[in-house]
Chain A
Amino acid sequence: MSTQPATGESSAEHETADQKSGLPMSRVALDSELKSIIADVLGVDADEADALNADSGLFGHMPELDSMAVAGLLTEMEDRLDIVIEDDDVDGEMLETYGGLLAFAEGKLSEA
């Protein structure tokens, strides 16, 4: 993970988010970590995972992502992002698209 707080990205939104919570992880760093976790679960290389966008379908769209693989994905997210994911957090919206999962992770990190 880069220790540089996304200097190349100067959108006001990133700065406020980082300043407000003092998060160690910018949206850009989170995006790349999450893609790297998905690449590990799917067994694809980084380039392929990099092609994921907010509308890319996950659970229910990719045959590789069965319930066991999704459970592994969430457990790996807990370990690598240092968050705790409760039963109630897991819903269709969060798992259906890459954008949903990213928004969820962002929300969890800002709670911390």
Chain B
Amino acid sequence: MIASWQAPLSSGKSSEELLVSYDEGRERRVLILPALFDEANKLRRLTVQVMRQLDLSGVDSFLPDMPGVNESLAPLSSQTLMGWRSQVNAAAKNVSATHFLSIRAGALMAPSDLPGWHYAPQTGAKVLRAMIRARTIAAREDGREESSEQLLETGRRDGLTLAGWTIGGEMFRELETAEPIAAGAAATIAQKELGGAGLWLRAEPDEDDAQAAALANIVAGQGTET
């Protein structure tokens, strides 16, 4: 179901954001924290496939947009990781989540007080590194030279547009040191547990029934105490 939720802003106001949910008031309610930036596009279909599979396994799930991404009208350039973290906590309360499932860099904003799973978690530094590298390669194709070092400096100071995502200076600095949040009883799900290769590696967004089913099976299973 497509609905919306109110993401609290630091100004005290709130921003109306998209919420995709499978909600039948069941016992296990999983908040989904999607991959970020370029990987968000590549993994969106897999993410919703997992939610469908969870629904079939009798598990509710909720995928909230954070301000600045996907359908949001808020500008990405003014968002911060700290802001997203507190909005994730608000979303968790809002939907009465019992668990979370983070996907790739979604792990950087995991709620601090819920058990859950990190699927193939990624550090913020690596997220930046891949996108900066794409930018230097594209520049070279254009016959221009851009160095990673210069781009890092610019990013820290003024923010940077990477792979079409306008990342503000504060978010950029936060990402450089951000690690997956190892809160509560968070278990890590490695790519090899799903079989096949990570879909974030693909040039084009794709889907994979078998991987989605494997991931949903783990989340619908016996809990996080493994």
Contacts and interface: CB of A to CB of B under 8 A. Distances in A.
B1 interface: no
A72 B137 contact: no
A18 interface: no
A23 interface: no
B198 A67 contact: no
Interface in B121-142: 126, 129-131, 133-138, 140-141
Interface in B99-147: 126, 129-131, 133-138, 140-141, 147
Nearest to A95: B137
The A interface is mostly helix, strand or loop, or mixed, namely: helix
Nearest to B132: A71
Contact of A68 (B147, B163, B197, B198): B163
Interface residues of A, number: 22
A66 interface: yes
A105 B149 CA distance: 23
Given A40-B197, A75-B126, A75-B129, A67 B134 contact: yes
Interface string B182-226: 000000000000000110111110100000000000000000000
18 contacts: A39-B197, A40-B201, A41-B201, A43-B197, A43-B202, A43-B203, A43-B206, A65-B203, A66-B203, A68-B163, A71-B130, A71-B131, A71-B133, A72-B200, A75-B130, A76-B201, A90-B133, A92-B140
Interface of B: 38, 126, 129-131, 133-138, 140-141, 147-149, 163, 197-198, 200-204, 206
